Amino acid sequence: MRKKIVAGNWKMNLTKDESIKLVKTISTEIQNQNIKNNRIIIAPVSINLHAVLNNVGNDKRIEYASQNMHFANNGAFTGEVSASILKGIGIYITLIGHSERRVYFNEDTVLLKKKVDQALNNNIEIIFCFGEELEDRESKNQLKIVENQLKNTLFHLKDSDWKNIILAYEPVWAIGTGMTASPEQAQEMHAFIRNLVAKNYNETVAENVSILYGGSVKPTNAKEIFSKPDVDGGLIGGAALKAKDFAEIIKAIC
């Protein structure tokens, strides 16, 4: 059965000491919270992952992910991080396909497919991000865009691979803009995504995959968004950098 998940993507923010302090504060904020069968995942800057694990990895309710991973296991790829390097410091989750990687680093579906395969070959769980631009939404083309993004990067996988896939729908027009899809818009897209997985695989795979919403989730709207039947939590950006806000969002799934 799929789990509810709150994942925090810190992007290119926070020094080592700031990262450690923030995790400690989040841990304190939720110390009396019953997390139940839910998951909390945080993705700091890659260079700080080892320090965070060493200093605050004792709170087993919190898992850690890399924001990025290269498609090769080693080689002349200056500045990149491989699956084996991540596993070497105890990281077994990675984000792939975030809109900022697609836009600023020109990551297309061919490259993303390679990353997906490499992660799964190394038993690394994937938070796979996808979503439409504002112009796609305004032209009512959002469903086709999302379908193509999934079809071209994930739908070659075996049924068994999906146990290591978390989907994160992020309407690009709602990331860091203050704009947010309504709970009804989020539910409509998430239901479409789940039906798409069922159509290409089966109902079991579709019902077991967690689908997160990622688009300006805040303490004030989290509970309503997460209450929708096909929304299984959120991939949080800005609010993940504020301990109290992130803790309130965590409480909204519990």
Active-site residue, selected from the candidate residues 63, 70, 98, 100: 98
Asked about 170 being catalytic, the answer comes back as: yes
Active-site residue, selected from the candidate residues 63, 100, 132, 170: 170
Asked about 190 being catalytic, the answer comes back as: no
Q: How far is CA 31 from CA 59, 120, 169, 194, 212, in A?
A: 9, 33, 29, 33, 24
Paired tokens of 175: 């990331």
DSSP the chain: ----EEEEE--S---HHHHHHHHHHHHHHTTT---TT-EEEEE--GGGHHHHHHHHTT-TTEEE-BS---SSSSSS-TT---HHHHHHTT--EEEE--HHHHHHS---HHHHHHHHHHHHHTT-EEEEEE---HHHHHTT-HHHHHHHHHHTTTTTS-GGGGGGEEEEE--GGGSSSS----HHHHHHHHHHHHHHHHHHS-HHHHHHS-EEE-SS--TTTHHHHHTSTT--EEEESGGGGSHHHHHHHHHTT-
Catalytic residue IDs: 98, 170
